[in-house]
Structure 1
Amino acid sequence: MNERVNLGKASPALYKAVAEWDRLATEAAHLAGVAQGFSHLLRLRASQINQCAFCIRLHTQDAIGSGESYDRIAVLPAWRETAYFSEKERAALALTEAITLIADGQVPDTIYANAAQVLNSSELAAIEWLAIVINSWNRIAIASRYPVQA
């Protein structure tokens, strides 16, 4: 594999700005009442879709460290087929997936309307920001080919 420019090292000010953006999104999620463990599941789900191995590993570890169960982590790619997630969590997962897959129909009005029925505006904004930020991190890690070794 060819060596890639490590974006964090090549442009540390930009990397720090994304890290601060992440901190603010995490804070907004906390203030909106989004559980820390579930916020990592949202990041994990976007990272799974984007196939970002670095972020998948990171947010799996963070979710476990935040008290998420192995079962919820294991079924996350098939969350629609389980009873592990509340109505609010299901709406948040659907919204996160839609934002992650934005090139495929943008964020459908039906998904947003469903989320808006069960999530308040603070929760909606926090979840959207979490999705936007993790998608940025996924692109940074994938473009730089951050190493994922056993």
Structure 2
Amino acid sequence: MPDTCRVNIGKQHPAAYKTLIALSEEVERATAAAGLDPLLVELLRIRASQINGCAFCLRMHTRDALRKGENADRIAVLPSWLETSYFSETDRAALRLTEAITRVQDGHVNDEDYNAAVAVLTADQVSAIAWLATVMNAFNRVAITSRYPVGS
């Protein structure tokens, strides 16, 4: 059972949390302007949250993706996206870049992952995905640090 006596850092410093929300809203506009499919955007949020082990964000973005019309099978196989035919070339490039950014502790965003992304994605898409991954990783850390409750 998680420790429920954690400081909720978003409530402790609401101005900082509101700034993160505002950044997230700006990134949402950037992903739309770059022509990224809203379903792909949700999958990228889910994938970063899977890597980070953020149950709160996983639940929220899985629900959001399903509500927007995402296929449950694509969500189910997301951790093994490389092994399936569910994902387009654009999806794969975006997932690969999101994973590389989320796993920077494994050796930064290497040239192979970056070059694979820029071979398929526009500069606007690369930038929007990088910002999306950055914001999602920040939200994951807020929820994990504060131990946002998940469950009935």
| TM-score, normalised with respect to structure 1 | 0.98
The answer on 1:112 being equivalent to 2:114 is yes
The answer on 1:23 being equivalent to 2:25 is yes
Q: Is the 8 A contact 2:98 2:130 kept in 1?
A: yes
Aligned to 2:141: 139
Q: Is the 8 A contact 2:81 2:87 kept in 1?
A: yes
Separation in 2, partners of 1:116, 1:65? 30
Q: Is the 8 A contact 2:24 2:135 kept in 1?
A: yes
Alpha-carbon offset, residue 65 of structure 1: 1.1
How many residue pairs were aligned?
150
- Aligned pairs for 1:1-150 (under 5 A) are 1-150=3-152
Q: Is the 8 A contact 1:37 1:62 kept in 2?
A: no
Instruction: Give the letter aligned to residue 83 of structure 1.
Output: S
Separation in 1, partners of 2:66, 2:34? 21
Separation in 1, partners of 2:40, 2:112? 23
Q: CA RMSD in A?
A: 0.7
Q: Which runs of 5+ in 1 are unaligned?
A: none
Separation in 2, partners of 1:76, 1:86? 13
Alpha-carbon offset, residue 115 of structure 1: 0.5
Identity across matched positions, percent: 53
Q: Which runs of 5+ in 2 are unaligned?
A: none
Instruction: Give the letter aligned to residue 125 of structure 1.
Output: S
Separation in 2, partners of 1:116, 1:38? 17
Separation in 2, partners of 1:2, 1:28? 36
